[in-house]
Amino acid sequence: MDLDDNSRNLVQALTNGDPEKISTSSFSSLLASKDRDYLLSSTTQDDQVKISDLEGKAIGLYFSANWYPPCRNFNKVLIGVYEQLKSNGSNFEIVFVSSDEDLSAFNSYRESMPWLSIPFSDLETKKALNRKFEVEGIPYLIILQPDGSTLHDGVELIYRYGIEAFPFTEEKLEELRREERMKHESQTLTNLLTNPGRDYLLDQTMTRKVPVDSLIGKTVGLYFSAQWCFPCAKFTPKLISIYHKIEQSLEGKGGGEDFEIVFVSSDRDQSSFDSYYGTMPWLALPFGDPIIRTLAKYFDVQGIPCLIIIGPDGKTVTKQGRNLINLYQENAYPFTCAKLQLLEKEMEEEAKRLPRSNYHAGHRHELTLVSEGNGGGPFICCDCDEQGSGWAYQCLG
């Protein structure tokens, strides 16, 4: 999905005028029960805040649980945004709707939260909110506006825009979308990878500074990864092998093309960075460089490993570099639409020569050859645990 498609989906999530539109006067019917007209404050275990105090505010209903790591990760981000908004005097509040398994877990998780909560014991209200807003996964953040409109993609908005998303209206989202489009249209390698105090990258020895300008005119992969990440540990050796094969192929052509990768680290300390980067043959941003967080936000990186491909003109070619490497190996280079269309046609022709079914020892039965058009779709390979798409042998009922 490209930038415009993603933003358009966020705009469509603003449900002005639909049957789910909420009025602020109905907050009590949403959040209260027959014997409770309050929420738990963050200040003490038993301190209470009247639900009527929320009138006129934008409200975030935050569905989350202590037991789920993605919730804990998002919680840290949301706390930062919330505290900034409160310090600015913004008219915004969050209400925690727990999916924790017991009271102890609820209390432990709630201690980290500076906002309000529905009591753990009120199962009926929590179930009713999950049903009403069709919550199918967590973390999930729904924004209820004073004018009654609702926004269902709060988690993505917070990850993508942070405090800039406030007040979470359609007008604000359109403004951010325009700004984002302008940034991408004027994107260059220099403005992506440099800051006022640094115009270089590290080479593999970590002793030589390589000017960012030396990459201009090359196809560049931005590799978001970290030593602590298990999927990264599996993908990095494959990427190293593909990198060398692409280099060898380009040297054989002698046409002046060049490919480079820049490691964008999410490691937790310098020693982990040093150890992990020591296995890589390409360039890197310095550990802890502030541009790393900016890049992750700019490209909406929500998981690692992630490989963003930048073309010779400095513009983004694809955010799906990892998947394309898994699908096509070194043949994916230079990752352009024209090259991918050619590879897809070749795969279609190759699939015509494959048997319609194949016995798999691990599954102990016949697997059927499928594609997205005849019962297949994205899949996880049971041999390499990597995501793929297109033609594959799969179990069909």
Give the residue carrying structure tokens 């432990």. Answer: 108
Side-chain half-sphere CA neighbours of 91 within 13 A:
9
Please state the length of the chain: 397
Burial class of residue 198 in the structure, from the number of CB atoms within 10 Å of its CB (0-12 exposed, 13-18 middle, 19+ buried): middle
Element (H, E) at 71: helix 69-87
User: What token pair was written down for 300?
Assistant: 């909406």
Asked if residue 272 has pLDDT above 70, the reply is yes
Domains along the chain? 3-183 (3.40.30.10), 189-338 (3.40.30.10), 352-394 (no CATH)
CA distance 76 to 105: 17
Q: How confident is the model at residue 232 (pLDDT cuts 50, 70, 90)?
A: very high
Average pLDDT over residues 7-23: 44
Average pLDDT over residues 377-382: 58
Q: What is the DSSP letter of 282?
A: S
- Paired residues of 369 in beta bridges: 393
Asked if residue 32 has pLDDT above 60, the reply is yes
Asked if residue 377 has pLDDT above 50, the reply is yes
**315-318 long-range contacts, Cβ below 8 Å, gap at least 24?**
315/184, 315/187, 316/184, 316/187, 317/219
User: What token pair was written down for 313?
Assistant: 């003109």
Which amino acid is residue 9, in one-letter code? N
Asked if residue 364 has pLDDT above 70, the reply is no
Asked if residue 80 has pLDDT above 60, the reply is yes
Cα 209 to Cα 12, 89, 222, 266, 285, distances in angstroms = 46, 44, 18, 21, 10
Q: Which residue has the higher pLDDT, 15 or 272?
A: 272
Q: What is the pLDDT of residue 2?
A: 47
Q: How confident is the model at residue 205 (pLDDT cuts 50, 70, 90)?
A: confident
Q: What is the pLDDT of residue 354?
A: 67
Q: How confident is the model at residue 180 (pLDDT cuts 50, 70, 90)?
A: confident
CA distance 266 to 273: 8
Asked if residue 78 has pLDDT above 90, the reply is yes
Average pLDDT over residues 103-122: 94
Q: What is the pLDDT of residue 374?
A: 55
Of the given ranges (40-49, 100-109, 374-383), which has the lowest mean pLDDT?
Answer: 374-383
**To the nearest whole number, what is the mean pLDDT of the chain?**
85
Asked if residue 394 has pLDDT above 50, the reply is yes
Asked if residue 352 has pLDDT above 90, the reply is no
Asked if residue 10 has pLDDT above 50, the reply is no
Closest CA relative to residue 319, chosen from 333, 300, 332: 300
Asked if residue 386 has pLDDT above 90, the reply is no
Q: How confident is the model at residue 391 (pLDDT cuts 50, 70, 90)?
A: low
Residues 138-158: pLDDT tens digits? 999 999 988 888 887 899 889
Question: Strand 38-40's sheet: what is its strand order?
Answer: 48-50, 38-40, 116-117, 92-98, 58-64, 140-144, 150-151
The CA angle 368-373-377, to the nearest 5 degrees, is 70
Asked if residue 130 has pLDDT above 60, the reply is yes
Q: How confident is the model at residue 397 (pLDDT cuts 50, 70, 90)?
A: low
Asked if residue 368 has pLDDT above 80, the reply is no
Q: What share of the chain has pLDDT > 70, as a percent?
A: 80
Average pLDDT over residues 29-37: 86
Q: How confident is the model at residue 7 (pLDDT cuts 50, 70, 90)?
A: very low
Q: How confident is the model at residue 18 (pLDDT cuts 50, 70, 90)?
A: very low
Cα 315 to Cα 195, 204, 212, 217, 340, distances in angstroms = 18, 25, 15, 11, 17
Residue 142 contacts by C-beta under 8 Å, 6 or more apart in sequence? 60, 61, 63, 133, 150, 151, 152, 154
CA distance 314 to 188: 4
- Tell me how crowded residue 56 is: count the other CB atoms within 10 A of its CB: 8
Q: What is the pLDDT of residue 385?
A: 61
Q: What is the pLDDT of residue 206?
A: 83
Residue 204 contacts by C-beta under 8 Å, 6 or more apart in sequence? 277, 278, 280, 281, 282, 283
Closest CA relative to residue 119, chosen from 192, 43, 189, 37: 37
Q: What is the pLDDT of residue 9?
A: 45
